[in-house]
Amino acid sequence: MRTVTRVIHDCDPGHDDAIALLLGLASPELDLLGASTVAGNQSLELTTSNAIRVLDHVGRADLPVCAGAARPLVREPVTNVSGHGESGLDGPDLPPPSRSPEPVHAVDWLGRAISDGVGPVTLVATGPLTNVALLLARYPEVERQLERVVVMGGAIGEGNVTPAAEFNIWADPEAAARVFESGLDITMVGLDVTYRALMTPAHADELRGDGRAGRLVADLYEFYSRVHRRRFGRNGAPVHDAVAMAHVIDPTLLDTQLCGVKIDTGPELSRGRTNVDRWGRLDWRPNCHVAVEIDAARFLDLLVRRIARL
């Protein structure tokens, strides 16, 4: 009998968050319980309405969306307008959201959903880790109850906001430090693997002819790939957050290595760096399964096939 994984998507849509959400919806291996939103790529108001707009587009107004933290734990709020535009989801022409988020703070909703006794929950976190850190403070029992947290964030190597840091960790390093220091089962899906699986114009063309979800992803890709071409000179765009979702659908897409990881919360130069003791040179507790390899062709094939049939 196939087992279905109960998943909550904590996100800040964001183009790749939106694609990850659609991939989760399209996958029978997952029972997607809902989405919690966090400020990151844009303000909380915008990331929340973007999550709802994406769900509206594919007729899933039934899926709960709960708004969480409007700012990082300690730092001043940042956004990623250059990466995702003024709306946080520039490109496609989506109407305003059909509804408001649920009348409950995301952290309380997460606490209840994780401990509802129905079964274990996997959290796929694809924005800054503020909601997850707050969840641990308000509902410490979830450390025992959560099955695992799959984080899109960090890098063994180079960052994308600074040479040292990736956006999600850099935006709220204190929250990331709290989460990585907890006893949770954490998987880090970082830039080392996401940049090795670029979506190309050919993938987008294929999706454009494939119904509502396919057209939306093609439009999202068009904007996102322009940004990546300008910024990094690449002919293709990573779909970072979708890699984290895909790993839950099919764990064999990534190779991971259990390592000690510490987050740099220092003031500037290396703020937000995920220091990964890959070769065990230091006496750090192994606290994280770090993605080290990706089967890019299989990931992209899964993404395109699943979105096409949504």
Active site positions, annotated: 240
Site map for ligand BDR, 270-309, x if CB under 6 A?
A: ----------------------------------------
Interface segment toward ligand BDR; rule CB under 6 A; list 92-100, 163-171, 224-232, 281-289: 163-171
Of residues 249, 243, 245, the one with CA closest to residue 293? 243
Can you tell me which of 49, 79, 126, 131 binds ligand BDR, judged by CB under 6 A? 126
**Residue 167 interacts with, from ligand BDR, Ca ion, none (CB under 5-8 Å by kind):** ligand BDR
- CA angle (125 as vertex; 75, 261 as ends), nearest 5: 70
Q: Identify whether 260 is preceded by a cis peptide bond (ω within 30 of 0).
A: no
Least distance in Å: CB of 103 to ligand BDR?
A: 26
d(CA 97, CA 99): 6
Contact 126, 98 (CB under 8 A): no
> Of 34 and 40, which CB lies nearer to ligand BDR in the complex structure?
40
d(CA 271, CA 290): 19
d(CA 227, CA 96): 24
Of residues 71, 78, 131, 77, the one with CA closest to residue 104? 131
If 0-12 CB within 10 Å is exposed, 13-18 middle and 19+ buried, where does residue 308 land? middle
Contact between 17 and Ca ion per CB under 5 A? yes
Can you tell me which of 17, 90, 172, 277 binds ligand BDR, judged by CB under 6 A? 17
Can you tell me which of 27, 36, 37, 41 binds ligand BDR, judged by CB under 6 A? 41
Residue count, binding to ligand BDR (CB under 6 A)? 14
How far from the centroid of its chain's Cα atoms is residue 32's Cα? 14
Contact between 192 and ligand BDR per CB under 6 A? no
Contact between 166 and ligand BDR per CB under 6 A? yes
Least distance in Å: CB of 58 to Ca ion?
A: 19
Q: Identify whether 14 is preceded by a cis peptide bond (ω within 30 of 0).
A: yes
With helix as H, strand as E and coil as C, how does 40-66 read?
A: CCCCHHHHHHHHHHHHHHCCCCCCCEE
Site map for Ca ion, 83-122, x if CB under 5 A?
A: ----------------------------------------
Contact between 241 and ligand BDR per CB under 6 A? yes
Can you tell me which of 72, 111, 127, 238 binds Ca ion, judged by CB under 5 A? 127
Least distance in Å: CB of 13 to Ca ion?
A: 7
Residues that bind Ca ion (CB under 5 A): 12, 14, 17, 126-127, 241
